[in-house]
Amino acid sequence: MTIRDTAEEWEIRATETPFTGNKTSVRTDDVVMPDGSVARRDYQVHPGSVAVLALDDEDRVIVLRQYRHPVRQKLWEIPAGLLDVPGENPLHAAQRELYEEAHVKAEDWRVLTDVYTTPGGCDEAVRIFLARGLSEAEGDRFQVEHEEADMELRRVPVEDLVRGVLAGELHNNCLVVGVLSLVAARGGDGLDALRPAEAAWPARPFES
């Protein structure tokens, strides 16, 4: 038996959008349940995101410390950002985020994993890339603002991040999933067996 997620869509009797924000919105659907009843489901509609686990030659990961207002904490994270344009190639978005947040470029890109962050209340899909062969990016640094103006940048050994995740000291979902996926990939078929950077992504289809 193959264990895998499958596409399925239940009947929607009615839908409305009670809130529309700058990047996301909230939708309310009346969904027909298997027993014929109708249940109301509220969820955030999200354009999707990319994240980059950038691994250097000393087995260190580029991480950023950033204030996240909803949870009232400064979290250590890997570079990440929104898919700004519908149908945007996620690899191009990931390369942009690595440049903007860390001023770094990478020679080797692979898909590390794809996740839904909170599928019970949000349709956000995130593609996490593994980037290797790092070097300093050319050109001027990206001008940051708002929370990003206070960011702290470090390179942290993989083993230290794993220890922090398992100790409950690191909480950002892309960092947690990315670091543990890296360790799992190494213990399996190896990093070179990961999917190519342009692998299909049904959750957010794109053109190469």
Residues with active-site annotation: 148
Cα 181 → chain centroid: 13
What is the bridge-based pairing of β-strands 80-82 and 60-68? unpaired
C-beta neighbour count of 161 within 10 angstroms: 25
Long-range own/partner contacts, residues 80-86 (CB < 8 A, 24 or more apart): 80/49, 80/50, 80/51, 80/52, 80/126, 80/174, 81/49, 81/50, 82/23, 82/47, 82/48, 82/49, 83/47, 83/48, 83/49, 83/50, 83/204, 84/47, 86/47
Provide the edge-to-edge strand list for the sheet that holds 60-68: 73-77, 60-68, 152-157
Residue 134 burial by Cβ neighbours in a 10 Å radius (0-12, 13-18, 19+): buried
